[in-house]
């Protein structure tokens, strides 16, 4: 059956950002993921090791961490993709306030979403016995469906330098919420317009398209190309197009 080998996990432990790395040595088997290793350490060597996880299937986006320096889901990172001859470092996401061990306070993200104007449905095309009905073609929903694959792991927020290096949490909503706004803007059933808010309140202009967010997205969403750039273009069209401006003046 499974072949075993020895590995060292260098896990960042501590509370409220005070702490450091602790090494744990562990027997590991074929097919294991990083979260398995963390669980085994928890069960046998450190029962109070703090780690947030839920589905262990890459569907809920709870177990985000930085593994050997890269933002990843612990449950989807197989050990055979890592060099086990060296210690594997596992540390919390550094962009959010630290709570304990691998757990960070991600509540900022939830307050940001609250600020974005919600879905505003357009009038239905007809009414059936069981409620309103809309006719929408699949081609027209492919794009917003891509953004709705987001599992809110916040790895894109973690890696975004506007947030990570420049701490502009009150001026910039981050890639996760730009794609949230994008799926609303591109939903054929939505009547709302969030472009002015994207420009003024959500700081879409701060993104300088380094695509770091796209690289770490575990769902493979084309965050920059399919959401951020098209929204930037729409903002430009609405607010900075000289012909449009002229047209508005005469109107």
Q: Which positions lie near other proteins, rule CB under 8 A?
A: 1-2, 15, 29-33, 36, 42-44, 47-62, 76, 78, 99-101, 103, 105-107, 110, 113-114, 118-119, 121, 124, 128, 130-138, 141, 144-145, 148-149, 151-152, 183-184, 187, 189-190
Which of 17, 107 has the CB closer to other proteins? 107
Minimum distance from residue 211 beta carbon to other proteins (Å): 21
Minimum distance from residue 3 beta carbon to other proteins (Å): 11
Contact predicate 159/212, CB 8 Å: yes
Which of 67, 162 has the CB closer to other proteins? 67
Minimum distance from residue 101 beta carbon to other proteins (Å): 7
CA–CA separation, 216 and 3 (whole Å): 30
Which of 140, 237 has the CB closer to other proteins? 140
Distances (CA, A) of 98 to 117, 139, 152: 29, 42, 18
Contact predicate 106/117, CB 8 Å: no
Minimum distance from residue 172 beta carbon to other proteins (Å): 20
Which of 124, 166 has the CB closer to other proteins? 124
Minimum distance from residue 91 beta carbon to other proteins (Å): 15
Contact predicate 155/64, CB 8 Å: yes
């Amino acid at each position: 059956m499974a072949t075993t080998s020895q590995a060292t996990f260098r896990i960042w432990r501590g509370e409220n950002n005070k702490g450091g790395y602790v090494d744990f040595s562990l027997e590991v088997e074929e097919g294991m993921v990083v979260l398995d290793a963390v669980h085994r350490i928890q069960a046998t060597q450190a029962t109070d090791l703090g780690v947030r996880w839920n589905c262990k299937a890459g569907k809920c986006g709870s177990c985000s961490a930085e593994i050997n320096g890269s933002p990843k889901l612990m449950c989807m990172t197989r050990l055979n993709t890592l060099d086990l001859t060296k210690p594997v470092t596992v540390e919390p996401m550094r962009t959010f306030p630290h709570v304990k061990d691998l757990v960070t306070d991600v509540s900022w993200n939830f307050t940001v979403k609250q600020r974005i104007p919600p879905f505003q449905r357009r009038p239905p095309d007809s009414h059936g016995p069981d409620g309103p009905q809309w006719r929408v073609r699949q081609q027209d929903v492919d794009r917003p469906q891509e953004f709705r694959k987001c599992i809110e792991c916040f790895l894109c927020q973690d890696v975004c330098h506007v947030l990570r290096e420049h701490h502009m949490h009150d001026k910039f909503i981050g890639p996760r919420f730009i794609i949230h706004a994008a799926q609303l803007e591109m939903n054929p059933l939505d009547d709302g317009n969030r472009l002015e808010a994207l420009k003024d309140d959500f700081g879409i202009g701060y993104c300088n398209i380094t695509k770091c967010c796209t690289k770490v997205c575990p769902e493979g969403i084309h965050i920059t190309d399919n959401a951020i750039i098209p929204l930037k273009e729409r903002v430009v069209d609405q607010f900075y197009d000289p012909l449009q401006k002229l047209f508005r003046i005469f109107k």
